[in-house]
Amino acid sequence: MLKVGIIGYGKMGRIRHREIITGDKAEVVSIFDPVEIDSCLPCATIADEVIENSAIDAVFICTPNYLNKHLTVQALKAGKHVFCEKPPAFNAADVEEVQAVEKVSGKVLMYGFNHRHHESVQHMKKTISSQEFGRVLWMRGRYGKSVDESFYNNWRSKKDLAGGGILIDQGIHMLDLFLYLGGDFDSVHATVSNLYWHLEVEDNVFATLENTKTGITASLHSTMTQWRHMFSLEVFMEKGYLVLNGLNTSSDTYGDEVLTIARNRSAAPAATWEDEEHITYHTDESLKLEVEEFFSSIDDGRMVRIGSSGDALQLMRIVDDIYSFRKGAVHG
């Protein structure tokens, strides 16, 4: 059985711990968090104690964003397998540095982009791959949440700690789904703004992505002025469409997760609401499936199928492109 250490024991650290112990592949033997933890497990006094513990095979990094790259590199160099929450780093160049260390280490590295593991998203992926509805034409994603004045005191509002605002917090998940369902994009245009909160980081991002070879276009709106939590992903193809509204999450605030599937009509009368099939998903096992994939990759001696450093690099290159449109940024 694999021995696991967890660095960062806030919300995500506790969730990862729960998923680890519900399986039969690993056990948690050490935890570190700068805040005192009420736990029956041994608690390290510093993160280095977890990383340098020779009894530990794998480390879960569930820390504020600014620590992710440093701890990942340190753990890989110490011969540990690493599972790291998103974002992988602040930019693509940082991910390339991590990849170089990963290659030398020979260890498994996985990043936490759990949305790909949602059953609804897997259904969308299979439908698109089957080409039952022809090729993808365009996608539209909206991911928003509501915050209040208390957010000013959150580390996520500080650029040096978070690396960015709503894009790197939530929008990054939608970008990851665009890549998963539609492939890569080589042209990016964006508006990155502080429309309301006037923080160090953005509160709204509007971005248009295009693959100039295939013509596939994707539109993203990521916002913290939604005034309610919402998730919507639409994929329109030649012969039909897939629309996912709502998302089962640990906060349970995004509404029912409902996938709508319908076949296109190229002639009048247009498709009606009655033509649509609706599938409601009542549970979310994405976090469990992520952990299982990580441990299976270690057992099988292979790279992860979802959430690899290659996926992370592809994603962060698009994030870099979007952030190049920030006010004051030098856009190439």
165-221: per-residue pLDDT in tens? 999 999 999 999 999 999 999 999 999 999 899 999 999 999 999 999 999 999 999
Contact 61, 72 (CB under 8 A): yes
Q: What confidence score (pLDDT) does residue 266 get?
A: 59
Q: What confidence score (pLDDT) does residue 268 get?
A: 57
Q: Are residues 159 and 62 in the same domain?
A: no
Averaged pLDDT for residues 98-107: 98
20 lies in a domain? yes
Q: Are residues 86 and 160 in the same domain?
A: no
Q: What confidence score (pLDDT) does residue 36 get?
A: 80
| C-alpha closest to that of 165 among 135, 138, 195, 201 | 201
Averaged pLDDT for residues 127-141: 97
59-86 tens-digit pLDDT:
999 999 999 999 999 999 999 999 999 9
Overall number of domains in the chain:
2
Q: Are residues 129 and 255 in the same domain?
A: yes
Which residues, in sequence order, are CB contacts of 303 under 8 Å at separation 6+?
108, 297
DSSP one-letter code for 167:
I
273: helix, strand or coil: helix
53: helix, strand or coil: coil
In the chain, % of residues over pLDDT 90: 86
Averaged pLDDT for residues 301-309: 95
What range does the domain containing 154 cover? 119-283
Q: Are residues 124 and 261 in the same domain?
A: yes
Q: Are residues 130 and 276 in the same domain?
A: yes
Averaged pLDDT for residues 141-162: 94
Residue 39 has pLDDT above 80, yes or no: no
Mean pLDDT, the chain, rounded, equals: 94
Domain closes at, from 67, 94, 114: 114
Averaged pLDDT for residues 150-175: 96
Q: What confidence score (pLDDT) does residue 330 get?
A: 52
**Maximum C-alpha span of the chain:** 68
Compute the distance between CA of residue 273 and CA of residue 285 in angstroms, rounded to an integer: 29
151 lies in a domain? yes
Q: What confidence score (pLDDT) does residue 84 get?
A: 98
Q: Are residues 95 and 6 in the same domain?
A: yes
The tokens of 299 are what?
Answer: 């057992």
Q: Are residues 109 and 168 in the same domain?
A: no
Beta strands 136-146; 217-223: pairing state: parallel
Q: Are residues 98 and 127 in the same domain?
A: no
160, 321, 167, 73 alpha-carbon torsion, rounded to 10°: -50
Contact 138, 216 (CB under 8 A): yes
| C-alpha closest to that of 115 among 105, 106, 125 | 125
Where on the phi/psi map is residue 177: left (φ > 0), alpha (ψ -120 to 50), or beta? alpha
CATH classification at residue 219: 3.30.360.10
Q: What confidence score (pLDDT) does residue 263 get?
A: 87
254 lies in a domain? yes
Q: Are residues 80 and 198 in the same domain?
A: no
Compute the distance between CA of residue 189 and CA of residue 208 in angstroms, rounded to an integer: 5
Averaged pLDDT for residues 275-293: 94
| Predicted confidence band of residue 271 (pLDDT cuts 50, 70, 90) | low
CATH classification at residue 15: 3.40.50.720
298 lies in a domain? no
DSSP one-letter code for 270:
P
134 lies in a domain? yes
240: helix, strand or coil: strand
Q: What confidence score (pLDDT) does residue 252 get?
A: 85
The tokens of 167 are what?
Answer: 């894009």
Indicate the range of 121-130, 165-174, 252-261, 309-318 predicted with least confidence: 252-261
Domain closes at, from 71, 97, 114: 114
Q: Are residues 167 and 262 in the same domain?
A: yes
311 lies in a domain? no
Q: Are residues 159 and 183 in the same domain?
A: yes
In the chain, % of residues over pLDDT 70: 95
Residue 109 has pLDDT above 80, yes or no: yes
Q: Are residues 108 and 131 in the same domain?
A: no
Domain closes at, from 114, 138, 168: 114
